[in-house]
Amino acid sequence: MTTTQIVLISLGVLIAVLTVVSVLGVLPSLRIVPDDTHFDFTRFRRISFPISALLSILAITLFFTHGLNFGIDFKGGTLMEVRAKSGSADLAQMRTTLGSLGLGEVQLQQFGGPADVLLRVAEQPGGDKAQQEAVDKVRGALGESVEYRRVEVVGPRVSGELLGWGMAGLMLAIGAILVYLWFRFEWQFALGAMIANVHDIVLTIGFMSISQVDFDLTSIAALLTILGYSLNDTVVIYDRIREMLRRYKKMPMPQLLNESINSTLSRSIITHFTVTLALLALLLFGGHAIHSFTAVMMFGVVLVGTYTSIFIAAPILIYLGVGEHREDAKDEAPPAKKSKA
Partner 1 sequence: MLYFTRWKALGIILTALIVCLCAVPNFFPEAQVKTWPAWAQRRLVLGLDLQGGSSLQLEVDSNYVKKQRLEQIRGDAQKVLRDARIQFTGGVVVRNDAVETRIGKESDLQNALSKLRDLAQPIGGLMGSSGQRDLDVTDAGGGLVRLTIPEAATLDRLRKTIEQSIQIVEKRVNELGTVEPIIQRQGSDRILVQVPGLQDPTRLKEILGKTAKMEFRMVDPSVPPDQAQQGSLPPDTELLPAATPPPSNYVVKKQVLVAGGDLTNAQATFDQRTNEPVVSFTFNTSGARKFAQATQENVGVPFAIILDGKVISAPVIREPITGGQGQISGSFTVQSANDLAILLRAGALPAPLTVVEERTVGPGLGQDSIEKGELAAYVGSILVVVFMLVTYRLFGVFANIAVAINVAMIFGLLSLLSATLTLPGIAGIVLTVGIAVDSNVLIYERIREELRGGRSPISAIDAGFKRALATILDSNITTFIAAAVLFMIGTGPVRGFAVTLGIGIITTVFTAFTMTRLIVAWWVQWKRPKTVPI
Q: Give whichever of 50 and 273 is closer to partner 1, judged by the CB atom.
A: 273
19 or 109: CB nearest partner 1: 19
Nearest approach in angstroms of CB 329 to partner 1 is 21
- Minimum CB distance to partner 1 smaller for 153 or for 316: 153
Q: Cβ closer to partner 1: 51 or 284? A: 284
Rg (CA), the chain: 26
C-alpha to C-alpha distances, 299 to 198, 221, 275, nearest whole angstrom: 15, 14, 12
Q: Which is nearer to partner 1, 252 or 286 (CB)?
A: 286
Rounded CA separation 301/141 (Å): 43
Contacts of 256 by beta carbon, 8 Å cutoff, 6+ apart = 241, 244, 245, 248, 323
Q: Cα dihedral angle (246, 248, 250, 256), rounded to 10 degrees?
A: -100
User: By C-beta, is 91 or 172 nearer to partner 1?
Assistant: 172
Taking the complex as a whole, how short is the minimal distance between the CB of residue 292 and partner 1, in angstroms? Answer: 11
> Could you tell me which residues come within 8 angstroms of residue 168 by beta carbon, excluding any fewer than 6 positions away?
none
For residues 155 and 161, the answer to whether their CB atoms sit within 8 Å is no
CA separation for the pair 20, 310 (Å, rounded) = 36
Least Cβ distance, residue 114 to partner 1 (angstroms): 16
Least distance in angstroms from the C-beta of 51 to partner 1: 25
Query: Measuring CA to CA, which residue among 182, 341, 194 is closest to residue 262?
Result: 341
Min. distance of Cβ 290 from partner 1 in angstroms? Answer: 5
Least distance to partner 1 from the beta carbon of 55, Å? Answer: 23
Nearer to partner 1, 37 or 58 (CB): 37
CB of 266 to partner 1, least distance (A): 5
- Characterize 110-134 residue by residue with b for buried, 16 or more Cβ atoms within 10 angstroms of its Cβ, and e for exposed: ebeeebbbbbbbbbbeeeeeebeeb
Nearest CB to partner 1, comparing residues 60 and 267: 267
Least distance from partner 1 to the Cβ atom of residue 318, Å: 22
